[in-house]
Amino acid sequence: MTQGLFYTFFHTIAGWVGVLASVEGLKRVTLPQGSEDTAFRQLNGLQEATSSPARFTDLAARLRRYYEGHQVALTDKLDLSGATLFQESVWLTVGLIPYGQTRSYGWIAGQIGNPGAARAVGQALGSNPLPVIIPCHRVLTADGGVGGFSGGLEMKRFLLGLERGLSVRDQSL
């Protein structure tokens, strides 16, 4: 067991969520899963981490509220130590998109000073280890299409619906 890595799992109205963090900040968060076991399999590196539910009490409460359709502050410290400089710039820019709003892949590329890099932005978002915390679901194609999402298009539509005021009960996963 390595010092400094911590994890927990908790249930939300949308499903089970897993969180992995270092002493530097959040490293990975799963999207809601149908079971705790599935969320467990989605978090890599747990053999080196310590279960620490108390460390994540506040984050768990905020994510539960988020999945109930409430706007919450998800401004936790992040540990992006495994990211390239390009990925980090994309992820930090996406983190600035306000709740309930969307931007295009091209807009993100322009914001990071690389206007021709819309596809590369999409690839960086595809490896986002902190969905919802880094709200990559808020990034759409130039024509307003959903585009891609590592959690699946159904999940992306679900998250966008939550932020438009649709409840979990109004949607299906």
**46 — pLDDT class (breaks 50, 70, 90):** confident
d(C-alpha 93, C-alpha 100), whole Å: 16
Q: How many CA atoms lie within 13 A of 159 on its CB side?
A: 25
Backbone angles phi, psi at 153, to 5 degrees: -65, -35
Give tens-digit pLDDT for 76-125. Answer: 999 999 999 999 999 999 999 999 999 999 999 999 999 999 999 999 99
Per the CB < 8 A criterion, the answer to whether 85 and 93 are in contact is: no
Mean pLDDT of the 19-23 span: 96
Please determine, for residue 1, whether its predicted confidence score (pLDDT) is greater than 50. no
pTM over 0.85: yes
Please determine, for residue 2, whether its predicted confidence score (pLDDT) is greater than 50. no
- Return the bridge partners of 19, or none: 8, 29
3-state helix, strand and coil shares in percent for the chain, rounded to the nearest 5: 40, 20, 45
**48 — pLDDT class (breaks 50, 70, 90):** confident
Per the CB < 8 A criterion, the answer to whether 106 and 115 are in contact is: yes
Catalytic residue annotation: 136
Per the CB < 8 A criterion, the answer to whether 164 and 100 are in contact is: yes
Domains of the chain: residue spans and CATH: 5-67 (3.30.160), 85-170 (1.10.10.10)
Give tens-digit pLDDT for 120-162. Answer: 999 999 999 999 999 999 999 999 999 989 899 999 999 999 9
Question: What amino acid occupies position 64?
Answer: R
User: Residue 172 has what pLDDT?
Assistant: 62
